[in-house]
Amino acid sequence: MDFRVPETGGTLSNPVIPGFHPDPSVCRVGEDYYLACSSFEYFPGVPVFHSRDLVHWTQIGNALDRPSQLRLPHDTASSGGIYAPTLRHHDGRFWLIVTNVSGDGNLLFTATDPAGPWSDPIRLPGVHGIDPDIAWDDDGNCWCTTAGVSQVRIDPHTGETFGPPRKLWSGTPGAKAPEAPHLYKIGDYWYLLIAEGGTERSHSVSIARGRTPGGPFEPCPANPILTHRGSDHPIQNTGHADLVQAPDGSWWMVLLGVRPQGGTPGWHVLGRETFLAPLDWADGWPVVGELSPDIPAPPWPLQPPAVVPGRDDFDAGDLAPYWISPRQRILEDCTTRERPGWLTLHARGGSLDDNGVTFLGRRQQHLSCRARALVDAGRGRGGLAVRLDEQHHYDIEVSADQVQVRVRIGPSNTVVASRPVPAGPVVLRVEAAAARTVNDARTGPDILSIGVEEPDGTYVELASLDGRYLSTEVAGGFTGRVIGMYASAGTVHFDWFAYEPCKH
């Protein structure tokens, strides 16, 4: 086998897609790369990105942007919904296979353009398990491999399965949760890449190979080929990887990881992010290169970084693809068409404690950042929130004559500050400042400052809150923080929303 090793030439910044973008799956078509991620309980689902250098990614859409594609019932739990897509290109089409753990099971979608539109789902009732992968052999047979690790042949056009699933490989003896399988034909072998060890600090990547897509598979003697368990590396929980070959013959790995902050045990607040690592080959086995916040850049020209607008004035008729909502987005309750130049939210659920709250947010993508919004509550009630799930969120809410800061941490639900405000629009602000110095083992990951801005721009802080309570280590689950706007009563209008990274 003839494999080329990536050359060095400067460094790139990891993660390449920061914020809550887990379970990356990547494919290449010509000189273009496409990548999809898990979205869990959020709608629209499965963000899709494009790049020409593997470093700078631009979101071009969401694969599941219609209720007919993505059914998330009202009682869908946080961290339920859509798990672990696999994105592939075959026979002139893009194929996306996912699991909806909240009712519909495994589903397959197709598109001629990865930006969409994507088809309605092809249901796969005979495919069991999560994290489905799809691969074709030289005879045109389509193989679906799921966590476990088991495999069944399918007809990707109808969803029909042929025969019972076969167990392929259980991963490393003693390692739990063999999952996230991806199957590749590389040279003379079929390679089966998996994650194992659980998606927490013991997460890892292992691989096996065989002469056929069904095995038998021999494990790599160097397994796991990637893990940061038991280390003080700044990137932890490394796993759920996918491989891609560049046009120059070099190989690369995309994977998820987290960046814990603060003292013990370390808290990550942005969710699991997408990282990139170079890949070498030795004796027919992949060898993962350095994975760090700064890694060698690919040996080709880098495209300019994508500029994601930091401010949305809601002048467009349609919402940008980075805006997401829990479970559903009812168009008449979340619209830019009712009051031109404003986002209008009509309350449906009573508060962010409720599954049906009207909420529109974007992923927090920087350890230190600032979010601001100009809110006109009128006779309604709503504001700005940092959300992890229904039981873990910080809110600043404005009504006709006052603003208040509310903290929800598990069973505790408390108003921690309030202040009168004049009638009319008011600027609300949330700012996260990452911990840079660990004063003691209990130092949290960041501090969230929440307050209002006076008409002259002066910032008035109403609350300073420990960020650890909006972390995965406290709340559990698989998602990261989402910062956005909500309505808890009546109708609330937002003239603009601004998000920017900060230096602290």
DSSP-derived letter for residue 267 is: B
- Rounded (5°) CA angle 150-155-159: 80
The count of residues in the chain is: 504
Tell me if 48 sits within 8 A of 33, measured CB to CB.
no
State the CB neighbour count (10 A cutoff) for residue 221: 7
Concatenated DSSP letters of 356-417: T-EEEEEE--SSSEEEEEEEE-TTSEEEEEEEEETTEEEEEEE-SSEEEEEEEETTEEEEEE
Instruction: Considering the candidates 23, 53, 242, 397, report the single residue annotated as catalytic.
Output: 23
374 forms beta bridges with 427, 496
Q: Is 179 a catalytic residue?
A: yes
State the CB neighbour count (10 A cutoff) for residue 165: 19
State the CB neighbour count (10 A cutoff) for residue 338: 14
Contacts of residue 296, defined as CB under 8 A and 6 or more positions apart, other chains included, come to 6, 7, 8, 9, 10, 11, 12, 278, 289, 290
Contacts of residue 92, defined as CB under 8 A and 6 or more positions apart, other chains included, come to 112
Contacts of residue 434, defined as CB under 8 A and 6 or more positions apart, other chains included, come to 261, 367, 368, 445, 446, 504
Closest-CA residue to 235 (of 185, 279, 294): 294
Q: How far apart are CA 120 and CA 68, in angstroms?
A: 6
Instruction: Considering the candidates 53, 65, 179, 390, report the single residue annotated as catalytic.
Output: 179
Q: Is 397 a catalytic residue?
A: no
Closest-CA residue to 270 (of 385, 364, 177): 364
The residues annotated with a catalytic role in the active site are 23, 179
